[in-house]
Amino acid sequence: MKRISIVTGASSGLGREFALQLAKKRTADEIWLIARRMDRLEDILKEFETSGPKPRAIALDLSGKQGVDAVAALLEKEKTALGTEGLVIDALVNNAGFGTYGTFRETDRNRQLEMIDLNSVSLTGLCHVAVPLMTAGSVIINVASLAAFAALGNFAVYAATKSYVMRFSVALSAELEDTGIFVETVCPGPVDTEFANVASRGAREKVVDGKKPSAVVAHCLKNIRKGKRVSVMALKWKFKAFMSRFVDPYSFARWTYLHEKRPSK
């Protein structure tokens, strides 16, 4: 029986950290690193220890149904090659995703639809592909955001996609509980990654007070061992998530629209 882990968006940031830390914490034979940039993936391959799972770099655009179908085809090919030996997915990390700063009407329509495709459609499809290949003890980690807890002006579509990820993941966790497959939702606030640079199209290189990706990932894996299904690391983040229960969604969206302008080129 061959056991593999799959990490999407593995070329940098949280994805890179999930790949490196899962290699030390889980017992897979192979870890698939999926991202668009092969050069970045090849750099990460050098960081893996020879005693751990064998890393495999896969350059692939995961966006939408086509991306999901491409991963499904790779898994089917792997199953066929293994024959009676069998294939098990030990861990799936759905980290691939992006945000775009700006108001809804001023943000490029195709860019926003691509965000929905990658953040929500691809994540959902990959969960559906992976679950039949999982067994008791397998783990799904879906990366949402602190933005999942509120409607946000100037960030409307992104926050909506992450709210979907959180609600879907919690419901999936409930459905899979009897199978022994654990579903974890990660809801980070500002993290020191490429996110802000991509979201602002270069206008903001980094977020203010961004937490280390390594700390966010370590906290997530620790929460899985504790059986906690939603992972929010920093005390400030936990406070914001808790207080979101008591704030009218429209009022918060209006306030962020007026007072939290996000830079964008």
Residues annotated as part of the active site: 158
Q: Which residues, other chains included, contact 51 with Cβ-Cβ below 8 Å and sequence gap of 6+?
A: none
Output Rg (C-alpha) for the chain, integer angstroms.
Answer: 18
SS3 101: coil
Neighbouring CB atoms inside 10 A of 141's CB total 25
Burial-class residue 70 by CB neighbours within 10 Å (0-12, 13-18, 19+). middle
Do residues 75 and 129 lie in contact, with contact meaning Cβ atoms separated by under 8 Å?
A: yes
Pairing status of strand 87-94 against strand 54-59: unpaired
The DSSP call for residue 58 is E
**Residue in the block written with tokens 């949402």:** 144
Q: How far is the C-alpha of 124 from the C-alpha of 121, rounded, in Å?
A: 5
**54 - beta bridge partners?**
30
Q: Which residues, other chains included, contact 239 with Cβ-Cβ below 8 Å and sequence gap of 6+?
A: none
